Amino acid sequence: MEQSRYKPALVAFMSFKDGVNYSADMNFSEQARLNITPEQLCRWMNHRAYGSEQPTKDMKPTHARSSTLEFYKKAISSFMPRLTIPWDNVRHEGNPTRSEAINQLIKTVKRFEVRREGVLSSARRSIEYCL
């Protein structure tokens, strides 16, 4: 995996989580990455998509699309020590990007996109139909 492409997402998340502006070449310890929780990731993704850590029911994701959130999920997941282990809510361990809360957030943003209530697509090529 090309982690250099994914590193900015991890740095942005950790900067948000810790309230510190980290440099792009910052290396985070394994313990710092093990301390990441799905709740922290959800707050950050909500902030990226909605502009608020705790969006209300009537807010719409006007800052990021579901594909952007999926990229963030994949990027941060690539740095997690327990890459293949799903998040366990009882023991609070595993890969937090594989939690139900993260998947539900992305699903909710997709629902808004389908209804044309979220961020508009910025796809650069037209849809082609094959016969």
Whole domain around residue 103: which residue ranges? 3-21+37-114
Would residue 126 count as lying in a domain? no
Would residue 83 count as lying in a domain? yes
pLDDT of residue 105: 93
Q: What are the angstrom distances between the C-alpha of 117 and each of 60, 61, 108, 122?
A: 7, 8, 11, 14
Coil, helix or strand at residue 86: strand
**What is the rounded average pLDDT for all residues in the chain?**
87
**11 touches 24 (CB < 8 A):** yes
Would residue 50 count as lying in a domain? yes
Cα 121 from chain centre: 18
Read off the pLDDT of residues 83-126 as tens digits, 9 standing for 90 and up: 777 887 788 888 898 999 999 999 999 998 888 887 777 777 66
Distance CA 101, CA 37 (A): 10
Would residue 123 count as lying in a domain? no
Would residue 121 count as lying in a domain? no
